[in-house]
Structure 1
Amino acid sequence: MKKLVFVIILFVFLLPEASDAQCAMCRAVLESGEEQSAAKGINNGIIYLMAIPYILVGALGYFIYKALRKNSPA
């Protein structure tokens, strides 16, 4: 069980590094410019906005799991 949790946590933390998400309009505007630092900033912002809800839901699920496990008769 601990191995599975470790693999899931590792997957969750490494997945945002591999994703490079932009909408079509943002990509078109940013590719037309010479400066690539703006594109990197947009990508980091998108990843940040994407990761926060997953972290919150994961933490909520963890606390619910711990509360249910604590109250179980086993």
Structure 2
Amino acid sequence: MKKKGIISIITFFFVLQAKAQCAMCRAVLESGEDQSAAEGINDGIMFLMVVPYILVAVIGFYVYRTFSKSKRVKK
């Protein structure tokens, strides 16, 4: 269990450094002088990408917890 936690933390920090822009968006945004717009677009893309994964994780945890409770009751 401890090993899984350490791997999860390391993976989380690698994901924070990921860039989520497509090639066309990056080319258009980097050609301008204002880099804050590019950072804002990148943050928005990352936010939109993370929300579905969080929802799936919460639903998966709920299903896991439900099945583990039913197994304990049957024993």
TM-score, structure 1 length as denominator? 0.83
Offset at residue 47 of structure 1 (A): 0.5
Give the fraction of aligned pairs with identical amino acids, expressed as a percent: 51
Residue number in structure 1 paired with 2:41: 42
Unaligned runs of 5+ in 2: none
Q: What is the rounded CA distance, in whole Å, between the counterparts of 1:7 and 1:61 in structure 2? A: 20
Considering Cα pairs closer than 8 Å and 6+ residues apart, tell me whether 1 or 2 has the greater RCO.
1
In the alignment, is the contact (CA less than 8 A) between 1:16 and 1:51 conserved in 2?
no
Structure 1 residues 54 and 15, CA gap change in structure 2 (3 angstroms): farther
CA RMSD of aligned residues (A): 1.7
| The 10-residue stretch of structure 1 (62-71 or 7-16) with the greater mean CA deviation from structure 2 | 7-16
Offset at residue 7 of structure 1 (A): 3.3
Q: What is the rounded CA distance, in whole Å, between the counterparts of 2:45 and 2:15 in structure 1? A: 10
The equivalences for 1:1-74 within 5 A come to 1=1, 3=2, 4=4, 6-7=5-6, 9-11=8-10, 13-72=12-71, 73-74=74-75
Unaligned runs of 5+ in 1: none
Deviation sequence 1:17-66 (CA, Å, 0-9, x none): 11012111111110110010001001100110110011000000000000
Larger radius of gyration: 2
